[in-house]
Structure 1
Amino acid sequence: MCRWAAYRGEPLYLEELVSSPAHSLIEQSHCATRAKTATNGDGFGIAWYGDRPEPGRYRDILPAWSDCNLKSIARQIRSRLFLAHVRAATGGGTRRDNCHPFVHGRWCFMHNGQIGDFEHLRRPMESMLDNDLYAARTGTTDSELLFLLALQFGFDRDPLGAMAEALGFVERLAEQMERPVLVRFTAAFSNGHDLYAVRYASDQKAPTLYAAPMGENGGYCLVSEPLNDDNAWAEIPDGSAVVVGENGVDVRLFRAAEVAVRERLTVVPAPLAAAGNLQLN
């Protein structure tokens, strides 16, 4: 399982999550304490928002603990909103295109979890994408494809609703293809204004998610596991969504949408799917 950390609030140096704390994200890359595997050495990435609408990003396939550039960048860059991730691959090769966060336009996304039997679901999932989003897929992970599905289902209009539809579609697709229904999903995503996170699993075994105030004037940090032993960290329950915005933090119930796949799916090229061969109710 991967580990990640995200922040929204007054500008902070990235090192305050990535490298400085006692149990920083770099520390978690080789010594995670609340995951099935302690080592998350299959690459890393950071995405941060500055003066432009789209985020900056730095990713590499080296383990986070061995990349001196990561520590240097984290020490110099300040941001009011950033996401950072260390990867333990459950699918997809160790290559830069498979490292989180994923970016499309002003959106960025990172994920900890998995889709069961993904290799059998991948092609019909890809067929739901329009031509532009299909062409935007550069890696091979289930995480990136879930991100693109959520964009397809209306991230700009309703981020949490689009994510609920994307997860619901995957679950119904697995049912219809007579495959095991297994989605484990703890993710963070942002449009540069608000920070969102979701903790959800179809088997009630979602990867961990914690939150704590950080900095001044309502800043908040969301993490896979606490960065220190401070009692401020609160565990976010399974089946929850978190929104960190100008008015602070809001935690609400979350579940996958009841998306109906109208008929048994046949794998078709993305252009045909975009033309209407595959439809949602």
Structure 2
Amino acid sequence: MCRWLAYTGNPIQLEAVLFRAKHSLIDQSLHSRLGQTTTNGDGFGVGWYGHPTDIPFRYRCAHPAWSDRNLRDAARAVRAPLFVAHIRAATDTPSQETNCHPFRYGRWLFMHNGLIRDYPKVRRDLMLGIDPDLFASIEGSTDSEVMFYLALTFGLEFDPVLALERMAGFIEETGRRHGIEAPLNMTVCATDGEQIVSARYSSERQSRSLYHSTSIRHLMELYPDDPRLAAVGEDAFLVLSEPLVDLEGWWEEIPESTAIVARGGAIESQTFDPHRT
């Protein structure tokens, strides 16, 4: 399907995780080890914040990430305290820039890995659930962008986890009305520059892979001479589809039906329970 990551911590070059890590996101675009598809070449996108209250910057392209020279230069030039990145493997919608993640509305960025099953069958009903005031901001044709605007409709800016739960519940209810047994499979990430909210959930309880970094402070004790840990700082946090390096103790798998909220060095985990609207 797709691969994505989100980082918060000391400002670092995007290049550090996009290119320099052993199993970087660019490596995953060609050689994914845990994804449903090995190659993720149907476009990519990065988004980053200069300051938490700013509108985030974004660079998206429909070309494969591994062949984009501008991405390499941008990743070397940009240092940010919070950024996200996504590589796409298209399902029911075309490869075009407006279908590339992350999607943006105001201060919010959103990414998704997975799918809404039989999306063409339910697309109209799902889009009718979006707040009319938000509808004109939709640019592409992908199910992921519809998920984002449903979450905004259900209050993403005020209670992100509840909004994502309501979004998932609405999709499941709509899909089952159309006879779709397992309508939704997702790992998602939403951020407003101050917090990273992620969730792993699927109707069949067989979600795509999702991991987060363990305590950086603890890792510094295990690997005191690793310069990467000193660079990111004790409060750094990564949530991602696949681990970037194969070192014991660096990563923890996020369980099924779980939401994670990272804000100001604090990490909270809770059960993800879709709500009917």
Between the aligned residues of both structures, percent identity stands at 41
Q: TM-score, normalised by structure 2?
A: 0.91
Deviations 1:92-143 (A, max 9, x none): 1010000000000000000000011111111011111222311111111110
Secondary structure of residue in 2 paired with 1:237: coil
Conserved 8 A contact 2:7-2:238? yes
Deviation at 1:177, TM superposition (A): 2.7
Conserved 8 A contact 1:43-1:94? yes
Deviation at 1:247, TM superposition (A): 3.5
* Equivalence map 1:27-106=2 (5 Å): 27-51=27-51, 53-106=54-107
Secondary structure of residue in 2 paired with 1:18: helix
Residue of structure 1 in register with 2:198 after alignment: 197
CA–CA distance in structure 1, aligned partners of residues 90 and 195 of structure 2: 28
Q: Determine if the alignment matches structure 1 residue 216 to structure 2 residue 225.
A: no
Residue of structure 2 in register with 1:151 after alignment: 152
Deviation at 1:253, TM superposition (A): 1.2
Deviation at 1:178, TM superposition (A): 2.6
Residue of structure 2 in register with 1:250 after alignment: 268
Gapped regions of structure 2 (runs ≥ 5): 217-228
Residue of structure 1 in register with 2:220 after alignment: none
Residue of structure 2 in register with 1:228 after alignment: 245
Residue of structure 1 in register with 2:142 after alignment: 141
The RMSD of aligned alpha carbons is: 1.1
CA–CA distance in structure 1, aligned partners of residues 202 and 42 of structure 2: 23
Gapped regions of structure 1 (runs ≥ 5): 260-279
Secondary structure of residue in 2 paired with 1:19: helix
Deviation at 1:148, TM superposition (A): 0.2
CA–CA distance in structure 2, aligned partners of residues 139 and 93 of structure 1: 9
Residue of structure 1 in register with 2:133 after alignment: 132
CA–CA distance in structure 2, aligned partners of residues 165 and 183 of structure 1: 13
Conserved 8 A contact 1:3-1:86? yes
Secondary structure of residue in 2 paired with 1:163: helix
Structure 1 runs of 4+ aligned residues shifted over 6 Å read none
Conserved 8 A contact 2:86-2:111? yes
CA–CA distance in structure 2, aligned partners of residues 48 and 94 of structure 1: 23
State the AA in 1 paired with 2:241.
S
Conserved 8 A contact 1:3-1:85? yes
Deviation at 1:71, TM superposition (A): 0.9
